[in-house]
């Protein structure tokens, strides 16, 4: 069982992800709806891993999930961040990996894919 | 009909059918027809996403409130309260269009030929709205059917 921080600007996607993660036996210890919140929450909660939506509104100078990931992994170089993207855009995924993301999942998110991706995290 | 618009709406219709069937567990008819129309009346909840760069225009997905509630239930894994459904039914439409457009983008001929299509953040309204050819040059509609209800997919420019 791992502790998780969920980051997504859409409430419905956070709830969907939370239900799937809890079904897999993980504990969701925090949620954030933008990049700024995610960095603050990460520093406060120190979760085992983060699920991070790539596309989120620019709040407080953190323009998207990629920038939030960069800040989180700058704070903790061991941080594990799974990017969630609805666009399957290779360039965004590559930039996210270059900025410290561990892996990515394409929307629509399936519980089997989450499980498979978490198993690769080396928690 | 412009072949790019036709391709986008055909692929979006097919992806929407697949998304409803497999991801929302909502059985939907697998037939649809594209038609250019003079005007369209949107339903209770409508999400708009604009495309720019290699192609321009706006795509809309419009459904009844009743169907948006079913969609929200489909999104939420496991037990769900009516209160949760009520609060999330608008987002269910927003996310459905956001996901399905994202999914088809890579398969479009324009993209395969190296064109870049930028997708705006979604904008969703929960009031009736009509668009006409007096406002837009082209309005193309695909109507999907689910339990005698319409899902309107529309491309206008």
- What is the phi/psi pair of residue B60, to 5°? -125, 145
Q: Which residue in A65, A21, A66, A11 sits closest to A47, CA to CA?
A: A21
> Residue B31, Cβ neighbours under 10 Å: how many?
10
Residue A120 has pLDDT above 90, yes or no: yes
CA dist B26 to B68, B75, B83, Å? 11, 11, 20
Q: Using a CB-CB distance cutoff of 8 angstroms, which residues of chain B are in contact with residue A108?
A: 19, 23, 99
Q: Using the Cα atoms of residue B112, residue A102, residue A48 and residue A78 in order, give the sign of their dihedral.
A: negative
Q: For residue A23, give the nearest of B78, B87, B121 by CB distance.
A: B78
pLDDT at A88: 59
Report yes or no: B23 at the A interface, CB cutoff 8 Å.
yes
Asked if residue A86 has pLDDT above 80, the reply is no
The arithmetic mean of pLDDT across residues B3-27, rounded, is 96
Q: What is the mean pLDDT of residues A92-99?
A: 92
The mean of the pLDDT values for chain A is: 93
Over residues B147-155, mean pLDDT: 95
Is the model's pLDDT at A14 over the cut of 70?
A: yes
Instruction: Say which residue, A15 or A92, is predicted with more confidence.
Output: A15
pLDDT at residue A2 tops 70: yes
What distance in Å separates residue B40's CA from the closest CA in chain A?
Answer: 28
Contact A36, A45 (CB under 8 A): no
Q: Cβ contacts (< 8 Å) between A89 and chain B: which residues?
A: 102, 105
Percentage of chain A beyond pLDDT 70 is: 98
Phi first, then psi: give them for residue A31, nearest 5 degrees: -135, 150
User: Cα B16 vs. chain centroid, distance in angstroms?
Assistant: 7
Q: Is the pLDDT of residue B146 over 80?
A: yes
Cβ distance of A107 and B92 shorter than 8 Å: no
CA dist A84 and B11 (Å) reads 23
The whole-angstrom separation of Cα B3 and Cα B1 is 6
- DSSP-derived secondary structure for A44-88: HH--SEEEEES----BTTB-SHHHHHHHHHHH-TT--EEEEESS-
Q: Is the pLDDT of residue A90 over 80?
A: no
The minimum CA-CA distance between B39 and chain A, rounded to whole Å, is 30
Of A12, A55, A87, the CB nearest to B88: A12
Maximum distance among all alpha carbons in chain A?
34
**CB of A123 less than 8 A from some CB of B:** no
CA A84 – CA A113 distance, rounded (Å): 11
Q: Are residues A12 and B76, on separate chains, in Cβ contact within 8 Å?
A: yes
Closest partner residue to B76 (CB to CB) among A15, A55, A85 is A15
C-alpha span between B100 and B97 (Å, rounded): 5
Exposed (0-12), middle (13-18) or buried (19+): which is A17, by Cβ within 10 Å? buried
Under an 8 A CB cutoff, do A10 and B95 touch?
A: yes
Give the separation between CA B42 and CA B129, rounded to whole angstroms: 5
Instruction: Answer whether residue A87 shows pLDDT above 70.
Output: no
**A11: closest CA of chain B, how far (Å):** 7
Contact between B98 and A86 using a beta-carbon 8 Å cutoff: yes
Calculate mean pLDDT across residues B88-112. 94
Find residues 67-96 of chain A whose CB sits inside 8 Å of chain B.
85-89
- Residue A61 CB: number of other CB atoms within 10 A? 8
- Which residues from B are below 8 Å from A106, CB to CB? 103
Residues of A in Cβ contact (< 8 Å) with B98: 86
Confidence of residue B77 (pLDDT cuts 50, 70, 90): confident
Q: How large is the average pLDDT for residues B94-112? A: 93
């Amino acid at each position: 069982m791992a502790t998780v921080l969920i980051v997504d600007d859409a409430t419905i996607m956070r709830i969907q992800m939370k239900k799937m993660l809890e079904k897999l036996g993980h504990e969701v210890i925090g949620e954030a709806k933008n990049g700024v919140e995610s960095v603050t929450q990460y520093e406060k909660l120190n979760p085992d891993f983060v699920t991070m939506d790539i596309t989120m509104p620019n709040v407080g100078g953190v323009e998207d999930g990629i920038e939030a990931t960069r800040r989180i992994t700058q704070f903790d170089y061991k941080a594990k961040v799974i990017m969630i993207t609805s666009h399957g855009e290779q360039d965004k995924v590559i930039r996210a990996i270059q900025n410290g993301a561990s892996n990515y999942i394409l929307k629509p998110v399936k519980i089997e894919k989450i499980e498979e991706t978490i198993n690769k995290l080396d928690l | 009909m412009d072949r790019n618009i036709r391709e986008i709406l055909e692929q979006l219709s097919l992806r929407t059918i697949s998304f409803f069937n497999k991801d929302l567990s909502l059985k939907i008819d697998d037939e649809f027809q594209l038609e250019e129309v003079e005007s369209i009346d949107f339903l209770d909840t409508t999400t708009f996403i604009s495309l720019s760069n290699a192609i321009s225009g706006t795509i809309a997905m419009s459904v009844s409130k009743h169907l948006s509630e079913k969609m929200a239930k489909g999104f939420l894994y496991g037990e769900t309260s009516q209160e949760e459904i009520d609060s999330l039914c608008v987002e269910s439409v927003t996310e459905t269009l956001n996901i399905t457009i994202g999914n088809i983008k890579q398969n479009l001929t324009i993209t395969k030929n190296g064109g870049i299509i930028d997708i705006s953040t979604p904008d969703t309204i929960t009031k009736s709205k009509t668009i006409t050819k007096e406002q837009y040059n082209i309005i193309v509609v695909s109507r999907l059917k689910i339990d005698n209800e319409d899902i309107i997919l529309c491309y206008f420019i």
